[in-house]
Amino acid sequence: MSSSVDGLVSGLQTSSMINSLMQVEAAPQTRLKTKVTTAQTAVASYQSVNAALTSLKNAADGVGQLSTWRAVKATSSSSTVTATALTGTNGASGTTVFNVKSLAKNQITTAKVPTTGDISSGTIQITTGPLDGSTNDKVNTITLGDDKSAKGVAAAINAAGIGLKATVVTTGGANDILQISGSKTGTANAFRIDSGLDGVASPLTNVASASNAQLDIGGGDDNAANGGYSVTSDTNTFSKLMPGVSITVSKLENDVTVTSDQDVSGIASKIQALVDAANGTLNEVAKQTAYDAATKKSSPLTGDFAVRNISQSLLSKISLGLTYTNPSYDKNQPTDAATKTNLEKISISLSKFGVALDRTGQLTFDSAKFATAYNENPSQIQAAGIEFADQMEKYAGDQTVNITSVITGRKNEIDGLNTQISGWDIRLAAKRTALQKTYSDLETSLGKLKNQSNWLAGQLSGL
C-alpha cells in the first residue's frame, strides 16, 4: 500500500518520482509477465490444434469399427411392424416373411370388493412366474398392517415389489373393483392369488391372461415338416429373428415382410465425417501457423516446425494411397516369390473409393463413387476403408501425444514464470516502501532545516 509524500517541504512530486522509479524496478517482472502471456497464447493455439486432431482421431475410429461396415438398414412392409437396425457386428442382409399370430399381454385380475371393511385377515400369498410348477415359480407372502381394507391390500401389494400393481376402482355402486395387474407382459410374468383375500364380494377373475407374442414363419410349427417354425417373445419385440435387426409388432397381421440391407449410406456418412475432420485439422494448423508477409504479422505457432509439418504429412498420406494385406490371399497357394508378394499386398489409391485431394489442398469425398466401388467389391473396399481409418487414427493419436507433451512443458514453464512473478511482487513492495521512507525522511530533514533557517533569520533580524 502506497502513501502520498508529495513535497510538503520540498515541493517535489515525490509520489510521481517513486512511481517512475518503480516502473524501472519492475521492468524484469514486466518482461516475465509478457513471457507468460505469450506462452499462454501458444498453449491455447496448441490446444486448438489438439482438439482438431482429437476430432480426426474419433472420426477415424468411427470408420474403422467393424460395426460400421456391418451396419444394416431395416424396412418393414407393414405400418404396424417396426424394424430397427441394432448397433454391433452381427448385422447381415436378408429378408423374412411372417404372420403375427399373437401379441404379448400382461395379466389383469379383478374382483368386486366392499366399499368399506376388511377383505383380508392379514396375510396374502401370491405366486408369480410361469405357474408351471417349476423352480421359476415364486411364492410371495405379504403381511398387511392395520389397514386390511381393499385400499390397504392394494397399497401392500404395490409396496411388496413383486412385479404387480394394484388399484381400487370406484364404480359408484355397492361395490368397488380391486384390480391387480402384472407390470410385465409374457407367460413368465403370470401370477396367482393363493390365499388371503377371503372378504371379496365376488371370485377373482382373470380378465386378461399373461401371454407371449408369436410370429409364424413358413406356416409356423404346424408346418414344421415343410420347414415352418414359430418364434415367441415375452414382449412384442423380437431381437433374434434377423441378425442385427429388432422387430416390434403391435397388431395381428399376415404376410409381413422385413428386409435388411447393407447400410452403405451410413458408411459413406462416416467417411465424410472423417474427411471433414481431416480438413478441419488442416485448416486449424494453417490458422495457427499463418504468416502475413504484407503486414509481417505472425501467428502464435508460425515458427513451430512440428505443427507446420502436420499438414504436409497428412496430405502425403492421402496422395500416397494405401498398401495393405489382401484379405483374399491364400498363403497356402503355391506360387513363385514375386507373384506371392503381389498377391499378399494390395496397393490402392484412395480415389478408388471416393477420397481425393483438390487443387486447394483440401480433401474431398464422392459418396456415389464410394457406393459404386463398395457394391462391386465389398470385401476389398471394407479392407481398404478400415486400413485407411486405422492409419489416420494412429497418425492423429501420435500427433496428439506429441502436442500434449509440448502443452505440458509450456504449462510447467508458465508455472515457473508465475512463481518468479510472485517473488517480484514481494521484492517490489519492499522497494516501494523503502523509497517512500527515503523521501519521507528527506521531507522531514528539509522541514527541520527550514525551521532552523527561520529561527536563525528571526535571531538575525533582532540584532
Please state whether beta strands 190-195 and 355-357 pair in parallel, antiparallel, or not at all (unpaired). unpaired
pLDDT of residue 343: 63
pTM: 0.70
Q: Lowest mean pLDDT: which of 57-61, 111-115, 326-330?
A: 326-330
- Asked whether residue 90 falls in the same domain as residue 200, the answer is no
- Asked whether residue 303 falls in the same domain as residue 374, the answer is yes
Query: And the C-alpha cell for 211?
Result: 401371454
Asked if residue 18 has pLDDT above 80, the reply is no
- Asked whether residue 277 falls in the same domain as residue 333, the answer is yes
- Asked whether residue 233 falls in the same domain as residue 276, the answer is no
Q: Is residue 61 in a domain?
A: yes
pLDDT of residue 335: 59
- Asked whether residue 282 falls in the same domain as residue 387, the answer is yes
Q: Is residue 316 in a domain?
A: yes
| Residue scoring higher pLDDT (14 or 141) | 141
- Asked whether residue 291 falls in the same domain as residue 313, the answer is yes
Picking from 181, 208, 235, the residue at the C-terminal end of a domain is 208
The domain total for the chain is: 3
Task: State the average pLDDT over residues 402-424.
Answer: 86
- Alpha-carbon distance 374 to 380, whole Å? 8
Residues recorded for the chain: 463
Q: Which residues of 231-259 are buried (b: 16+ CB within 10 A; e: fewer)?
A: bebbbbebeebbbbbbbbbeeebeebebb
- Asked whether residue 254 falls in the same domain as residue 269, the answer is no
- Alpha-carbon distance 231 to 416, whole Å? 70
Amino acid in position 123: T
Picking from 221, 240, 262, the residue at the C-terminal end of a domain is 262
Picking from 262, 290, 325, the residue at the C-terminal end of a domain is 262
What mean pLDDT value characterizes the chain? 88
- Asked whether residue 202 falls in the same domain as residue 217, the answer is no
Query: And the C-alpha cell for 2?
Result: 502506497
Max Cα–Cα distance, the chain, nearest Å: 150
- Alpha-carbon distance 226 to 224, whole Å? 5
Chain-centre distance for alpha carbon 174:
58
- Asked whether residue 222 falls in the same domain as residue 339, the answer is no
Check residue 105 and report its DSSP letter: B
Residues of the domain holding 201: 108-208
- Alpha-carbon distance 89 to 244, whole Å? 8
- Asked whether residue 114 falls in the same domain as residue 160, the answer is yes
- Asked whether residue 170 falls in the same domain as residue 291, the answer is no
